[in-house]
């Protein structure tokens, strides 16, 4: 299958797009309805002017589909509708119109690997009816060494982190010296009298992508949303659709055990990571053709001339991501999670190598690069490090060419909120409530403008340490004002990435990295807690004037070319050169 290869000028919209992730449950509740303490689609519409003034080009909205919401909506019970708590399809339409009127685009979340166990497809499958018996991944058990029925293989559930706490509290007894077991990826179903596979929680059964009817059903979901005007998809947990499984003619399941991961550290790592993932996820023989199929929907004659795009969520090794980025450069790429995963203080030569290689690889594939600092699954960037580093990382990431993803609230410098009362804990499996608390909009309004409901009825509590958007909006020194400057600069920089070597004045490279945007700009970051001085940017690049800094406000009247630059601890700057 030949996909749209990227041509010069094609997909211009996405080339430098700043995409803002909305976590709908805690984004904003519109004032028109009886207040429930949860966000709504009209609530997003109400904030489009704010997003536009932030320089946002497109939204990605996390799932707003009907769902029991035991995994924040990633347990979908109807992929083609809007959950009542968020509004209805007319509200969705209004949102699409509101975005398109502003020349902004919309990506919705597609969750192809699993559904909720309340989804009618699963109900039919477990009851072996409506031709859906093979829509999920069913298997008979095996007889274990104790003569008991056991799951067919050792595949685990991603959500095994709580096992560490259970062991610590004595709820889970494990012999000394033994590894903390992951939660099995298999659960016995009394109705079907078989095990079903769930790569995530037991209420999220994995669809069987082996079955072409399942693939057709997901492609049909994509068409439904494209027909409603969406411009693309963020595809959830995509590696998991590709598994090394097969069935005998009599329906017997085969899926080889995973091997042990020697790098796993018990007591610290998620027990799920003690197994490598060669068969249960990311199996190229299955994944690659399925990616092709999914992308091909965007190229069907009805949609082919639209500027649509897919971004795949895949935490995978580089060589596998390379494949994804080469499948259809004009249409799809994988998230670049380096900024979210790499430790700020990692050795800079390693960081530089990762960065240069990434940009070279994506450019040679003719694809669009991207950068992700945070999302609803990870501790917020300002909490992971500090406010100062969050600003610096934002400059370092945003100034790179390509798409930039901003997780809602990152632009306000928001922190995780750890003091969630036990009765308000919503995510006992993934432990991700702290990074999902509601957005603070207006300092003078109830619940800082998020919702008019009683505080006790909010989905998650407000973080009292937040500085609301209205206050930040009028303060030139605030995070928000800084982010507005960053997005403006990002849109101004159109030249390609240039790998640059840099030396500090003492002749060593003391944790400073630089890259160029063409010949015009150099972006420099000091990854150390010490000031660092540069006397030259590189043998081939003269000094210029500093136009942007993560620490200082640059006053344009005094900027002029300088001979020496001293970067403050953890500072990032942009230098403009005269060509």
Q: What is the CA radius of gyration of the chain?
A: 24
Per CB under 6 A, does 71 bind ligand NOJ?
yes
The distance of closest approach from Cβ of residue 106 to ligand NOJ in the complex, given in angstroms and rounded to an integer, is: 18
DSSP string, 65-132: SS---TTTT-S-S-TTS--GGG--HHHHHHHHHHHHHTT-EEEEEE--SB--TTSHHHHHHHTT-TT-
How far is the first Cα of the chain from the last one, in angstroms, to the nearest whole number? 44
Binding residues for ligand NOJ restricted to 530-569, rule: CB under 6 A: none
Judged by CB, which is closer to ligand NOJ: 310, or 468? Answer: 310
Residue closer to ligand NOJ, measured from CB, 35 or 375: 375
Cβ 27 to ligand NOJ shortest distance, Å: 15
Q: Which is nearer to ligand NOJ, 378 or 490 (by Cβ)? A: 378
- C-alpha torsion 451→423→75→261, nearest 10: 130
Tokens representing residue 109 in the block:
């979340």
| Residue with nearest beta carbon to ligand NOJ | 74
Tell me the C-alpha to C-alpha distance, in Å, between residue 186 and each of 44, 139, 194, 201, 284.
38, 9, 10, 10, 22
575 binds ligand NOJ (CB under 6 A): no
Our finding on whether 225 is near ligand NOJ (CB under 6 A) is: no
Residue 29 or 236: the one with the smaller Cβ distance to ligand NOJ is 236
Cβ-based nearer residue to ligand NOJ, 69 or 391 = 69
- Minimum distance from residue 21 beta carbon to ligand NOJ (Å): 10
**Pick from 183, 137, 185: which is nearest to 163 by CA?**
183
- Of 270 and 296, CB closest to ligand NOJ: 270
Q: Which stretch binds ligand NOJ (CB under 6 A): 69-77, 81-89, 338-346, 455-463?
A: 69-77
- Kindly write out the interface string for residues 366-405 of this chain, putting x where it contacts ligand NOJ by CB under 6 A and - elsewhere: ----------xx----------------------------
Q: Name the nearest CA neighbour of 136 among 183, 87, 81, 185.
A: 185
Beta carbon nearer to ligand NOJ, 122 or 200: 200
Give the nearest distance from C-beta 111 to ligand NOJ in angstroms: 6
- Among the listed ranges 7-15, 67-75, 244-252, 410-418, the one in contact with ligand NOJ (CB under 6 A) is 67-75
In angstroms, the Cα distances linking 365 to 4, 33, 234 are 12, 48, 20
Residues with Cβ within 8 Å of residue 445, at least 6 apart in sequence = none
User: Minimum distance from CB of 318 to ligand NOJ (Å)?
Assistant: 20
Tell the smallest beta-carbon distance from residue 431 to ligand NOJ (Å).
Answer: 11
Q: Supply the minimum distance, in Å, between the C-beta of residue 420 and ligand NOJ.
A: 17
- Name which of 269 and 445 has its Cβ closer to ligand NOJ: 269
The least distance separating ligand NOJ from the CB of residue 199, rounded to whole angstroms, comes to: 8
Q: How far is the CB of 237 from ligand NOJ (least distance, A)?
A: 4
CB of 64 to ligand NOJ, least distance (A): 14
Residues 301-330 that bind ligand NOJ (CB under 6 A): 313
CB of residue 578 vs ligand NOJ: minimum separation in angstroms?
45
Q: For residue 216, how many other CB atoms are within 10 A of its CB?
A: 11
Cβ distance to ligand NOJ smaller for residue 205 or 511: 205
Q: Which residue in the block uniquely carries the two structure tokens 């509290």?
A: 169
Does the footprint of ligand NOJ cover residue 195 (CB under 6 A)? no
Rounded Cα distance between 97 and 531, Å, is 49
Give every CB contact of residue 451 below 8 A, 6+ residues apart in sequence.
28, 29, 35, 36, 37, 38, 39, 438, 458
Cβ contacts of 3 within 8 Å, gap of 6 or more? 292, 295, 296, 299, 327, 328, 330, 331
Q: Would you say 407 or 479 has its CB closer to ligand NOJ?
A: 407
Query: How many residues at the interface with ligand NOJ, by CB under 6 A?
Result: 11
Least Cβ distance, residue 71 to ligand NOJ (angstroms): 5
Please report how many Cα atoms fall inside a 13 Å half-sphere around the Cα of residue 324, on the Cβ side: 30
DSSP result, 117-129: TTSHHHHHHHTT-
Is 115 exposed, middle or buried, given 0-12, 13-18 or 19+ CB atoms closer than 10 A? buried
Closest CA to 420 of 410, 412, 428: 428
Residues facing 138 on adjacent strands: 196
Q: Which is nearer to ligand NOJ, 236 or 411 (CB)?
A: 236
Q: Does 335 bind ligand NOJ (CB under 6 A)?
A: no
Binding residue for ligand NOJ (CB under 6 A) from 20, 121, 135, 200? 200
237 binds ligand NOJ (CB under 6 A): yes
| Between 46 and 206, CB nearer to ligand NOJ | 206
Least distance to ligand NOJ, CB of residue 340, Å: 12
The one among 55, 156, 430, 434 contacting ligand NOJ by CB under 6 A: 430
CB proximity list for 530: less than 8 A, separation 6 or greater? 510, 569
Neighbours of 468 (CB within 10 A): 20
Q: Does 74 bind ligand NOJ (CB under 6 A)?
A: yes
Token pair in block for residue 20: 């803002």
**Separation of CA 461 from chain center:** 23
Q: How far is the CB of 376 from ligand NOJ (least distance, A)?
A: 6
* Closest to 485 in 3D by CA, of 566, 393, 399: 399
Nearest-5° angle of CA 134, CA 138, CA 139?
130
Taking CB under 6 A as the binding criterion, the range among 66-74, 93-101, 404-412, 528-536 that sits at the site for ligand NOJ is: 66-74
Each residue 93-112 as x (binds ligand NOJ by CB under 6 A) or -, in order, gives: ------------------x-
Rounded to a whole number of angstroms, the minimum distance from the CB of residue 535 to ligand NOJ is 45
State yes or no: residue 236 binds ligand NOJ (CB under 6 A): yes
29 in contact with ligand NOJ (CB under 6 A): no
Distance CA 416, CA 474 (A): 24
Interface residues with ligand NOJ (CB under 6 A) are 71-72, 74, 111, 200, 236-237, 313, 376-377, 430
């Amino acid at each position: 299958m030949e996909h749209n290869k990227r041509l010069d000028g094609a997909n211009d919209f996405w080339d430098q797009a700043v995409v803002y992730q909305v976590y709908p449950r805690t984004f904003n509740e519109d004032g028109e309805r009886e207040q429930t303490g949860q966000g709504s689609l009209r609530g997003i519409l109400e904030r489009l002017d704010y997003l536009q003034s932030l320089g946002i080009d497109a939204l990605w909205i996390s799932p707003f589909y009907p769902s029991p919401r035991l995994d924040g909506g990633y347990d979908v019970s109807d992929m083609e509708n809007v959950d009542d708590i968020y509004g209805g399809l007319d509200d969705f339409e209004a949102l699409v119109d509101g975005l398109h009127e502003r020349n902004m685009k919309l990506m919705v979340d597609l969750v192809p690997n699993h559904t909720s166990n309340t989804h009618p497809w699963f109900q039919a499958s477990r009851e072996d009816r409506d031709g859906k018996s093979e829509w999920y991944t069913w298997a008979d058990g095996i007889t274990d060494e104790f003569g008991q029925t056991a799951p067919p293989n050792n595949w685990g559930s991603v959500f095994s982190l709580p096992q560490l706490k259970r062991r610590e509290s004595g709820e889970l007894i494990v012999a000394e010296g033994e590894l903390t077991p992951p939660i099995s990826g298999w659960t016995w179903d009394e109705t079907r009298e078989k095990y079903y596979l769930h790569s995530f929680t037991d209420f999220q059964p994995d669809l069987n992508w082996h079955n072409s009817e399942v693939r057709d059903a997901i492609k049909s979901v994509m068409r439904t949303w494209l027909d409603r005007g969406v411009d693309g998809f963020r595809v959830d947990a995509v590696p998991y659709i590709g598994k090394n499984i097969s069935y005998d003619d009599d329906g017997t399941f085969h899926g080889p055990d995973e091997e042990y991961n020697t790098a796993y550290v018990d007591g610290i790592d998620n027990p799920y990571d003690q197994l490598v993932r060669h068969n249960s996820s990311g199996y190229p023989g299955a994944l690659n053709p399925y990616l092709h199929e999914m992308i091909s929907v965007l190229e069907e004659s009805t949609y082919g001339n639209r500027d649509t795009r897919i971004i795949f969520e895949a935490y995978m090794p580089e060589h596998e991501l390379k494949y994804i980025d080469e499948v259809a450069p004009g249409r799809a790429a994988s998230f670049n999670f380096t900024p979210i995963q790499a430790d700020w203080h990692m050795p800079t030569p390693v960081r530089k190598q990762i960065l240069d290689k990434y940009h070279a690889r994506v450019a040679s594939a003719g694809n669009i690069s991207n950068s992700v600092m945070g999302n609803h699954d990870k501790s917020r960037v300002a909490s992971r490090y500090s406010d100062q580093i969050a600003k610096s990382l934002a400059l370092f990431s945003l100034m790179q060419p390509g798409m930039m993803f901003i997780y809602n609230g990152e632009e306000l410098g928001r922190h995780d909120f750890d003091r969630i009362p036990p009765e308000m804990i919503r995510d006992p499996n993934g432990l991700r409530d702290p990074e999902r608390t509601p957005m603070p909009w207006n300092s003078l309004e109830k619940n800082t403008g998020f919702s008019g409901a009683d505080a006790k009825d909010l989905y998650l509590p407000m973080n009292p340490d937040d500085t609301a958007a209205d206050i930040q909006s009028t303060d030139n020194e605030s995070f928000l004002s800084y982010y507005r400057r960053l997005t403006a600069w990002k849109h101004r920089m159109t030249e390609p990435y240039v790998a640059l070597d840099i030396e500090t004045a003492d002749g060593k490279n003391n944790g400073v990295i630089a890259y160029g945007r063409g010949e015009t700009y150099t972006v420099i970051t000091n990854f150390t807690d010490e000031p660092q001085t540069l006397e030259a940017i590189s043998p081939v690049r003269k000094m210029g004037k500093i136009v942007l800094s993560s620490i200082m406000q640059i006053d344009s009247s005094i900027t002029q070319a300088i001979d020496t630059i001293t970067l403050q601890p953890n500072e990032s700057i942009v230098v403009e050169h005269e060509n």
